[in-house]
């Protein structure tokens, strides 16, 4: 089969003919139709993602959507012809989705939402799982709460806004001036972080009490600011990028709590993979109920054009999810 292979870090991926995998015990063989591009893919290629523990040579690509071609021994619930999606590889020693076929642990898969195209489905897994783990698993977002999403127009952020809104919360989201209208269309109150100070929007939207839940998808100083903007005692800050050095004193003085999200753990350790499939089934239900729609960049990239796709993400010119057409 054809695949894009990374032979050495910080070199281009090479279109190669490699052995087509077969479905082992607990696996299905998926004919890949679309591969979602995440910023992490570029960091892995550049050798700047030690936390992904990638083993070379590697086929990158975390997210896929495709069709089951073969079910391995012991597989129940999936059969040839089923349309599926998931975050299934591209880290550790797991083959990624930048290939015509992938042998995938069924615990990482769910049936593709009927209302979404293959490209839209491939745009969802990593960002939806990350947002769900933060908002639902950690913070237990619910109706009646005021929720602030930092980076609400980004890949994780725009999905997080839709999850929080679907669960009945009153949603606010920070963004740059050019993305404020998009935030409003998602159903959130948009906050221009370039012109509005933290204490100003906390006072304006919470009466100075702070937000019940803050989900940070930016990291750095934005996470530090979150510690000062959360509600006293009951507030909860969650971050998908809490990798730096931060003072938790502002959070401690408010008596609030913090959680981190590391979405790759089930892929790297093998533990908790079933929960990823459970989360993806929630994504499918929301999408088919009309409550979730990923924003996909209209540009089309073939398998051999991965370098251009990665460049679009790394340059910041992509204002929505880049998806590569594989099949």
Residues 21-76 have pLDDT tens digits of 999 999 999 999 999 999 999 999 999 999 998 899 999 999 999 999 999 999 99
pLDDT at 244: 87
pLDDT at 174: 98
Give every residue of the chain whose pLDDT is below 50, as ranges: none
Q: Does the predicted TM-score (pTM) go above 0.95?
A: yes
pLDDT at 152: 96
pLDDT at 223: 97
pLDDT at 128: 98
Integer angstrom CA distances of residue 165 from 124, 185, 283: 17, 12, 14
């Amino acid at each position: 089969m054809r695949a894009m292979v990374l032979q050495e870090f910080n070199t281009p991926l090479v279109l190669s003919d490699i052995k087509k995998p077969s479905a082992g015990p607990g696996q299905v063989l998926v004919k890949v139709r679309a591969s979602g591009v995440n910023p992490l893919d570029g960091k892995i290629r550049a050798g700047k993602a030690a936390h992904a523990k990638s083993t070379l040579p590697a086929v990158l690509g975390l997210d896929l959507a495709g069709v089951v071609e073969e079910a391995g021994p012991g597989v129940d619930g999936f059969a040839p012809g089923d349309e599926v999606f998931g975050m299934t590889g591209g880290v550790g020693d797991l083959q990624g989705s930048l290939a015509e076929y992938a042998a995938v642990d069924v615990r990482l898969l769910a049936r593709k939402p009927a209302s979404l195209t293959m490209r839209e489905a491939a745009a969802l897994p990593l960002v939806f799982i990350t947002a769900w783990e933060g908002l639902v698993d950690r913070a237990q977002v619910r109706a009646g709460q005021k929720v602030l999403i930092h980076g609400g127009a980004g890949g994780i952020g725009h999905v997080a806004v839709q999850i929080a809104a679907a669960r009945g919360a009153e949603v606010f989201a920070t963004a740059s001036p050019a993305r404020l209208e998009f935030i409003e269309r998602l159903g959130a109150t948009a906050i221009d972080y370039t012109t509005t100070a933290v204490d100003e929007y906390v006072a304006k939207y919470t009466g100075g009490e702070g937000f019940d839940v803050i989900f940070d998808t930016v990291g750095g100083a934005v996470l530090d600011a979150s510690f000062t903007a959360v509600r006293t005692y009951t507030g909860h800050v969650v971050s998908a990028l809490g990798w730096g050095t931060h003072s938790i004193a502002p959070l401690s003085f408010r008596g609030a709590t913090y959680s981190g999200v590391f979405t790759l753990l089930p892929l790297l350790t093998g533990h908790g993979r079933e929960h990823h499939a459970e989360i993806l089934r929630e994504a499918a239900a929301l999408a088919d109920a009309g409550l979730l729609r990923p924003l996909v960049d209209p540009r089309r990239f073939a398998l051999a054009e991965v370098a251009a796709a990665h460049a679009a993400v790394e340059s910041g010119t992509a204002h929505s999810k880049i998806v590569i057409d594989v099949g």
